[in-house]
Every structure is written in C-alpha cells, then in structure tokens.
Structure 1
Amino acid sequence: MPFGELRPLLTALVLPPILPLLLVLLGLLLAAGRRRARGLALALAGTALLWILSCHAVATALAGALLPPVRAAQPAQLAGVQAIVVLGGGIVPDAPEYGAAQPNAPTLARLRYGAWLARRSGKPLAFAGGVGWGAAGTGFAPEAEVAGRTLRDDWGVAPRWLDGRSRDTGENAREMRRLLAADQVSRIALVTDAWHMPRSVLEFERAGFTVLPAPTGFPAPQVRPLLDWLPSPDGLALSRQVLREVLGLAVARLG
C-alpha cells in the first residue's frame, strides 16, 4: 500500500474525535486494573477534551490563534491575475436524488464562490481535485468530473482547466502548474476554505505561482453565544479541520 493511502488513517489517530476517545479507552483499561485513580483521571481528561473541542466557540478561537489570518478577496482585486483556481474538498459519491455524484458542502461553497468571482472578473476558471487518498480504490468519480458538471449545469460557467489526477494539496499545486504552464499562466486567485488557505498558498507558491488568496468558509459564530459553547457536530468538525491544518502546515513547511 502506498504511504499516501496510510496518511488519512495516521492523521485520524492524532485528531479528534479518535484521540480523545483513545484516551478514554486507555483510562478505562487502567481503571479496571490496579491504577483506578489514574485511569479514571485519564478517562475524565479524554472526555473533557472531546467536550471542549466539540464547542464551536473553541474551534473558532483555535482557528484564530493557530492559523495565519487570511482576508476575503473582491472581484476588483483580480485585475492582475490570469486565472481562478478552485480546490476540491470532496464529493458525495452517491446522491440518489440527482442520480449522480455531487460536490459535498465544502466543495460546493468553493465552486459557488469561484463561479461568482469568474462572472464578475471575467477571468477563466480552473478546478483541481481527483480522488483523494482517503477514497483510493473506491471507484469514486474524480472531483474534477463532478465539479465541471456542476459548474456548467448550475452556474453556466465552463471551466477551462480540470485536474482530475491530484490526490492532495501538494499534488493540486503541481498538476495545476503542469496544466496552466501550457497557457503561460502563473498569476492566480486561489479559492479554498479560509482554514485551508495558508497551506494551499504555501504549496502553490512552491509550485511557481504568484497567489492571490480568495478564501471562503471563514470560521465564525453560528448560533447564540451560549449554544456556541455547547458541544455540536459542527464544532467538532471545525476543530478537527483546524488541528489537521496546523499539523499539515507544519509538515509542509518542513518538507
């Protein structure tokens, strides 16, 4: 098995919810033996960690504290770029109501913003994303195939370049460089989620692009303050994404 296919598994083991749950399990195992007090303390710590990381307010604070800040872009700022590049974030492989695979929520938000920028700036659009490492061997359609169809059918925007081969952010950058080099495109506006932008800019600049960040999906409060401090699936998902990006950015900088 290629190392790339192991990366999603290894990453999951050090991120919530698996890491806190492993702490709880280890604590319960210790408590069942001769280390009851230590085991219960560890299980309680794991439970508290899972609770805290599931709060959307905590996830938003982590994003602000641990990731470099990014600002929104407006169409007027795209005057100096040659193309808009949208990065994929996954698909829904089986959407029976449509009878075909569809972009998942993050990809759909990125596509919508990319199409919005393309219409207002007149810049050509590119999309980067194949079958990610986590979906290797599943037979899922490449993200680029799904995204291209969605852009044409839903927004009437025909992407000029589609990369259906890349499996991660680094490969997104290298494949886009290969595709866009034929048209001498090196200045791009890059569309992805705000929490994903720092690592994406790093990879695309390494590939030789001049990058204007065009982020979407900014972490922000979603409900009343009290509810924002209660555990929720959205809070846990955002905490996981932020911590994953902190880890991924550190690895990318070392690489």
Structure 2
Amino acid sequence: MLAGELKPILAALALPPAGPLLLAALGLVLAARRWPRSGLALAAIALAGLWLLGCHAVGMLLSASALPQVEPVRPERLHQVQAIVVLGGGVLPNAPEYGVAQPSAFTLGRLRYAAMLARRTGKPLAFTGGIGWSSAGGDFPPESESAARTLQEFGVVPRWNDSRSRDTAENARELETLLGVQGVRRIALVTDAWHMPRAELEFRRAGFDVVAAPTGFAAPQTRPLLEWLPSAEGLALSRRVLREAFALWLARA
C-alpha cells in the first residue's frame, strides 16, 4: 500500500462519525474495567460532540473559524487571467442510469461554474483530476473522462485535461507541466470555498499567479431550528471542514 492510500483511511478513522464513536467505545471499555466515572464521562462527551458536529449550524461556525475565508471572484479580475482551472472533487464510477461514470456533486458544481466563467470570458479551460487516493486500487475511471463529457454538455471543450494527479498538490504540479510550457501562469482557480485556501497555496507554490474563483459556499439550508438539529448534511459539512483544516495545517508545515 502506498503512503498516499493511508491518508483517506486514517482520516476516516479520526474524523466524525468514526472518531467520536471510537472515543465513546473507548470510554465504555474504561467504564467496564477500572474507571467507571471517567469512562462514562468520556463516552458522554464523545456522543455529545458527535451530536453537535452533526448540526449544520455548527458546521458553518467551524467553516467560518477554522478556515481562511474567501470571497466570490470579481468579474473584472477575470480579465487578467490566461486560463480557467477547475479542480476535480470525485467521481461516481457506477451511474447505471447513464451507463457511464459521472462527476460527483462537488465536481459537477465546480464544472458548471467553471464552464460559465469560460463562456463569459472566452478564456481556455483546464481540468485536473485523475484517480484520488481514496479510489486507488478500485475500478475507478479518472475524473478527467467524465469531466470532459460534462463540460461539453455545458458547451465548453477543455483545452487541457490532466488525468494523472491524485490530490491537490499533484493537481498543481501536473498543471504546471501542461500549462507552464505554454507560458500560462495567471489562472482563475475554481474549487469549493472550503477547499480554496489549500488549493491556492499549492498552485502558488507551483509557480502560478492565482485569482481565486470559489464556489460551493457554506450557507443555511433550512429554518434556524433545524440547523441546530443533527443531519447528514450537517455532519458532512463538519467533517469536510475539519479534514480540510488539518490538511491545510499540514500543507503549511
């Protein structure tokens, strides 16, 4: 197993829901053996934490406090760039209704926004995304295949299409190889708002002059009371933010 393949496994064990559940299980084991009060307290804290992390409102608070904030791109800034660069965010390898792999919801949102920017500005578009580490070893097609088909449905043909990169750092390095030889350095970078700080860091390290063009901002989805009740959407948001905050810390280290 490659070192990169361990990243999604360790993340799955540490992040919610597995992390708090494992901590609660440890507390119950401690309570059953030698430390009943401390063990039960640990289990209760872990379950309470899982409840809070499942609230969409908590996920939004984490997003605002644990990650650098980004703003929507101003249209006038796009005139300065040489290309629109959109990062992959996953692929659905089995889409029986289509008979072919499809972009994940994150990838689809990024592609849609990038295609709109490309049509408005007339700038060429580059996509970067191969087979991510969490998909390595499985029967997964590269993200670039489904991305190219989807972009054509949006009326845009990508000029560059990287199918080799497996994570954000490799996204930047592979595109530096593809675009750098053609003198493309000033890019508009499209990815989700929660992912943008780390993506911008890696692309600047690779030598690009980056204009951030984020999409997928965290925003309330339901009435206020429901925002403070656990939901699958809330847990997913908290998990993404915590994972990205830790990944950003590692990238800066």
Q: Do they superpose with TM above 0.5?
A: yes
Distance 2:105 2:28 in 1: 37
Asked whether the 8 Å contact 1:88–1:143 carries over to 2, the reply is yes
| Count of residue correspondences | 253
Q: Does residue 1:116 correspond to 2:116, yes or no?
A: yes
Alpha-carbon deviations, 1:163-189, whole Å to 9, x = none? 000000000000010000121100000
Distance apart, 1:98 and its partner CA: 0.4
Alpha-carbon deviations, 1:184-204, whole Å to 9, x = none? 100000000000000000000
Alpha-carbon deviations, 1:44-73, whole Å to 9, x = none? 111001000110000001111111110001
Match of 2:10 in 1: 10
Q: Does residue 1:169 correspond to 2:201, yes or no?
A: no
RMSD, aligned CA: 0.9
Q: Does residue 1:61 correspond to 2:61, yes or no?
A: yes
Asked whether the 8 Å contact 1:76–1:121 carries over to 2, the reply is no
Match of 1:34 in 2: 34
Gap regions ≥5 residues in structure 1: none
Match of 2:154 in 1: 155
Distance 1:8 1:149 in 2: 27
Distance 1:8 1:72 in 2: 29
Counterpart amino acid of 1:9? I
Distance apart, 1:17 and its partner CA: 1.1
Equivalent position SS for 1:203: helix
Q: Does residue 1:224 correspond to 2:235, yes or no?
A: no
Match of 1:22 in 2: 22
Match of 1:143 in 2: 143
Distance apart, 1:34 and its partner CA: 2.6
Match of 2:187 in 1: 188
Distance 1:96 1:59 in 2: 33
Match of 1:71 in 2: 71
Equivalent position SS for 1:194: coil
Asked whether the 8 Å contact 1:128–1:176 carries over to 2, the reply is yes
Equivalent position SS for 1:211: strand
Distance 1:70 1:124 in 2: 24
Please show how residues 215-254 of structure 1 align to structure 2 within 5 Å: 215-254=214-253
Alpha-carbon deviations, 1:192-241, whole Å to 9, x = none? 00000000000000000000000000011111110000000111111111
Distance 1:157 1:72 in 2: 22
Asked whether the 8 Å contact 1:125–1:161 carries over to 2, the reply is yes
Distance apart, 1:139 and its partner CA: 2.3
Counterpart amino acid of 1:18? A
Distance 2:139 2:74 in 1: 38
Equivalent position SS for 2:126: strand
Equivalent position SS for 1:190: strand
Equivalent position SS for 1:162: strand
Asked whether the 8 Å contact 1:75–1:121 carries over to 2, the reply is no
Counterpart amino acid of 1:126? A
Distance apart, 1:33 and its partner CA: 1.7
Match of 1:134 in 2: 134
Counterpart amino acid of 1:95? A
Match of 1:85 in 2: 85
Equivalent position SS for 1:188: strand
Distance 2:139 2:128 in 1: 18
Equivalent position SS for 2:194: helix
Gap regions ≥5 residues in structure 2: none
The farther-off stretch of 47-56 and 36-45 is: 36-45
Distance 1:209 1:75 in 2: 19
- Between the two proteins, what is the percent identity of the paired residues? 64
Q: Which aligned segments of 4 or more residues in structure 1 are displaced greater than 6 angstroms?
A: none
Match of 1:206 in 2: 205
Equivalent position SS for 1:165: coil
Counterpart amino acid of 2:138? T
TM-score (norm 2): 0.98
